[in-house]
């Protein structure tokens, strides 16, 4: 009877073999039928220590990791040595877990870079035929062009006419979102869609009105904010009875705020988040406060054009502040 060779003996043999770069490169060229294999920079091929990923997997799996350069791109090869006698149905999931660990480590070391490609390879020497799909993701043929790209939906680039023609809840909000920085345009658009807002089902209407109040809240006087909070609670609990009156009152709040701002020589437009602080500084009208805000935005990495648009400070003045900040920082 033939003696069974222990699994770990296979593991150690292949791991030792693959530590020789020329052996691994020949393995790729002989077994990976891809055009790019011959474009790998042989000098860049580097055996990667297993601790590169995660300590708890060191003793659980037999694998080999190589890093190489393909033109201007880093590429990883993850070879999982599978000495079991039968195919493991969990293989696609396992591979993805290990690939995720490599990407996680890469992210820790090079946070600002895109993830490198990883080529997973299974080296199997079991007795039975391998009958497990080699695809890691279900439906890959359908979604292969979208799996490792993200789809950008830039609200600012959406077509107003198309949004207005749809007039569902999301389209209405996106249509208004495009004008959040311009009070006059926002109020005008709100009038345009008010008829359609009134026809929304009550659950969607509650969402719309809550969204609208949260947009307006940072722009009103401090004494009005508690009233808006009360309205939000009432809408969540009871819904909206007279939608037309509600929208009219919101328009009045917006117009009132910007009328006061214009009388004080403030720039129109409104923003939330960090720009709330910017507007507060502008309202105070203190040059020193403006410069402090500009320096803070420079420190956070915003460019001059964004800062100029957000604060109303002249671009030349921002450049001067940036020059002084760079000089002494």
Region 141-145: mean pLDDT is: 80
Of 108-122, 233-247, 313-327, the range with the lowest mean pLDDT is 233-247
Query: What is the per-residue pLDDT across 207-246, written as a single tens digit (0 to 9) for each?
Result: 888 888 887 777 666 766 777 777 777 777 777 777 777 7
Instruction: Output 146 or 173, whichever has higher pLDDT.
Output: 173
Tokens of 319: 């450049």
Of 275, 220, 223, nearest in space to 253 by CA: 220
pTM above 0.85, yes or no: no
CA dihedral defined by 140, 145, 146, 150, rounded to 10 degrees?
Answer: 150
Q: Is 256 exposed, middle or buried (0-12, 13-18, 19+ CB in 10 A)?
A: middle
HSE on the CB side for 134, CA within 13 Å? 7
Query: What is the per-residue pLDDT across 52-105, written as a single tens digit (0 to 9) for each?
Result: 555 545 444 557 889 999 888 889 998 888 777 777 888 888 888 888 888 888
DSSP string across 171-215: HHHHHHHTTTT-HHHHHHHHHHHHHHHTTS-HHHHHHHHHHHHHH
What are the sequence ranges of the domains in the chain?
Answer: 7-148, 158-261, 263-327
SS3 233: helix
SS3 268: coil
Tokens of 162: 């198309």
Region 23-41: mean pLDDT is: 90
Residues 76 and 64 sit within 8 Å (Cβ to Cβ): no
Region 242-255: mean pLDDT is: 76
Region 150-173: mean pLDDT is: 86
pLDDT at 212: 82
pLDDT at 281: 45
């Amino acid at each position: 009877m033939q003696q069974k060779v222990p699994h770990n003996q296979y593991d150690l043999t292949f791991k030792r073999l693959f530590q020789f770069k020329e052996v691994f490169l020949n393995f790729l060229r002989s077994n990976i039928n891809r055009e790019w294999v011959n474009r790998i920079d042989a000098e860049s091929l580097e055996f990667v220590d297993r601790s590169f990923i995660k300590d708890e997997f060191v003793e659980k799996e037999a694998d080999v990791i190589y890093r190489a350069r393909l033109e201007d791109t880093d590429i990883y090869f993850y070879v999982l040595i599978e000495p079991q006698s039968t195919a493991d149905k969990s293989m696609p999931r396992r591979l993805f877990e290990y690939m995720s660990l490599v990407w996680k480590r890469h992210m820790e070391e090079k946070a600002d870079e895109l993830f490198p490609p990883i080529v997973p390879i299974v080296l199997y020497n079991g007795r039975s035929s391998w009958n497990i799909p080699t695809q890691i993701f279900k439906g890959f043929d359908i979604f292969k062009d979208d799996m490792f790209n993200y789809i950008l939906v830039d609200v600012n680039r959406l077509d107003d006419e198309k949004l207005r023609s749809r007039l569902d809840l999301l389209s209405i909000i996106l249509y208004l979102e495009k004008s959040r920085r311009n009070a006059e345009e926002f109020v005008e658009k709100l009038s345009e869609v008010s008829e359609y807002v009134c026809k929304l089902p009550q659950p969607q209407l509650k969402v719309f009105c809550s969204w609208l109040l949260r947009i307006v809240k940072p722009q009103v006087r401090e004494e009005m904010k508690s009233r808006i909070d009360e309205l939000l609670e009432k809408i969540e609990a009871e819904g909206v009875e007279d939608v037309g009156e509600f929208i009219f009152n919101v328009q009045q709040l917006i117009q009132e705020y910007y009328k006061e701002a214009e009388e004080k020589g403030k720039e129109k437009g409104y923003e939330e988040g960090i720009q709330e602080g910017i507007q507060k500084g502008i309202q105070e009208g203190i040059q020193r406060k403006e410069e402090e805000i500009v320096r803070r935005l420079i420190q956070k990495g915003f460019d001059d054009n964004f800062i100029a648009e957000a604060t109303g400070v002249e671009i030349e003045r921002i450049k001067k502040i940036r020059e002084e900040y760079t000089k002494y920082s």
